[in-house]
A = this chain, B = another copy of it.
Amino acid sequence: MDPFGILYTDLYQLTMGQVYFRMGLHEREALFETFYRRNPDYGAHQAGYTVFAGLDPLLSWMEEARFGEAELNALRALKSRSGRPLFSEDYLAYLKAMGGFSGLTVRAHLEGRVAHPQVPLISVEGPLLQAQLLETALLNRINYETLVATKASRVREAAGEAVVLEFGLRRAPGKGGESATRASLIGGADRSSAVSLSHLLGLPSSGTHAHSLVQAFLALGHSEEEAFQAFAEVFPDDTILLLDTVDTLHSGLPHAIKVFEALRKKGHRPVGVRIDSGDLAYLAIQVARELDKAGFPEALIVLSGDLDELVIWQIKSQILEEAPRYGVEPEALLKRLVFGVGTRMVVSWGYPALGGVYKLVAIRENGAWAPAIKISDSLEKILNPGHKRVYRVYDERGLATADLLALAEEEVREDRPLTLRHPTDPTKRRVLSPGAFTLEPLLVEVFRGGKRLFPPLSIKELRARRDRDVARLDPGVRRLVNPHIYHVSLTERLFALKEELVRKLDR
């Protein structure tokens, strides 16, 4: 049995399914929505937005996943505490005939788009049983890829124009490395070191060499310089040398420069150096100075070692401040930097799980959608009920100013005043005048009849989508630390429906 097939799910989806089946509710039309409640908060700093990722792999999975004999036999093996089978044969026969998710219609943010808390990222409409069964696999993909794409987007913001390489496979979570690399590349990394994953995503992989190359030569009685020479001989046009196996400034750098000079004599252009430990900003300045002196002002300086958005920011700030003291032009140095980012990007260090949820919001009763709600003890956790549409509201500057949740059946127009209600605080509202805003619907139908409706985009196209959306955020929302809160609002009608449902239930 494929571990990642249709049973890559929680048992309760299947037990609830049998309850729905027995009660005749399994084909009742239902509507579930996926959203997350809070932006990632990394402890010392927090995100002002997320980058939505994971959709395409999810849709591919939905096209393929189905109940075959192996899956049914796995379910047959599960026993009730009574000793009898947990699942009945008529239910299993129904699952087999049903196959997979052909009854579902999925509407979603397009992958790579900027997203915000409380806003439905995906809505799933279709037979209650199928929609319920989808929950676990959907959240598994979307939560993690969105989390990593968001961290990568922040790394991208910190790095500015510099190249960012994703180096994280060795610290990525097992086969989850597949998602980690993909999401890093969507969020903002330029290349990854992962060979098979990059290849399957249509990108070349990137890399330098490890300390072990130098160590092996040293242990065999050769020198660091000979290790560098060997690398340069084999890769004369792709030479990036790692400087910190022995001592960055007193051993690695002079040896690298000698090897670069030899390469130049033979008509090759050395690519650069890498520094993996120590005071990276200080070392980068010293290395740049010596490379400049030796006539290699274009050699790249790759920095790596537990980098994240704050560390990159700190390195760049320190360079701006200190480089002139050593006669190095800071802007020129920043332009030749490359950031190799691994662990902290692929595990979203500081906030390693996005709490995305998948909630029933409506169910079809006598041809109409009956809104579903869950009352819980915190106001923040109360669902926005019913069948909804989502709009992004742009201001006169063309910047996104709010995401607006509306009921599906109401008309939201650009030529009338638009009232934005706070999702929980009844005293907070904002009215926008016609002409002062434009509206963009965010949820696009992407899956129906068992098939996705668009071919998958390339990573490059997804990253371009992310870039466009980030550029349309207010700079305050893009800030790495202490960002502005982006508004997520309800229409008057949705706010009223929510109030009414809470009143009804909360007797």
Contact = CB atoms under 8 A, between A and B. Distances in A.
Interface of A: 1-5, 7-16, 18-20, 22-23, 25, 28, 30, 32, 43, 54, 57, 71, 74-75, 77-82, 84, 86, 128, 132, 135-136, 139-141, 143-145, 167, 169-180, 193-197, 199-200, 204-213, 215-216, 218-221, 230-231, 233-238, 244-247, 271, 277-278, 343-344, 346-349, 352-356, 358-360, 362-363, 365, 370-378, 381, 505
Contacts of A363: 216, 219-220
Closest A-B pairs by Cβ, 7 of them: A176-B176, A174-B179, A173-B176, A11-B207, A12-B207, A352-B352, A7-B196
Contact of A215 (B10, B177, B211, B360): B360
Contacts of A349: 352-353
Given A77-B199, A78-B204, A173 B179 contact: yes
Nearest to A279: B377
Contacts of A234: 15, 18-19, 22
A174 B178 contact: yes
Nearest to A349: B352
A86 B14 contact: no
A34 to B, nearest CB: 11
B206 A82 contact: no
Contacts of A343: 353, 355
A503 to B, nearest CB: 13
Contacts of A221: 365, 370
Nearest to A250: B507
Nearest to A365: B220
A145 B175 CA distance: 11
A196 B3 CA distance: 5
B212 A132 contact: yes
Nearest to A78: B204
B19 A231 contact: yes
B141 A174 contact: yes
A1 B373 CA distance: 45
Given A139-B170, A210-B16, A230-B23, A196 B2 contact: yes
A216 B170 contact: no
Contact of A199 (B1, B54, B173, B376): B1
A57 B174 CA distance: 10
Contact of A213 (B19, B246, B278): B19
A165 to B, nearest CB: 10
Contacts of A236: 82
Contacts of A54: 174
Given A230-B23, A362-B219, A136 B8 contact: no
Contacts of A170: 10, 135-136, 139-140, 143, 356, 358
A303 to B, nearest CB: 15
A8 B196 contact: yes
Contacts of A219: 360, 362-363, 365, 370-372
A14 B204 CA distance: 14
Contacts of A86: 235, 238
B372 A74 contact: no
A495 B4 CA distance: 48
A355 B171 contact: yes
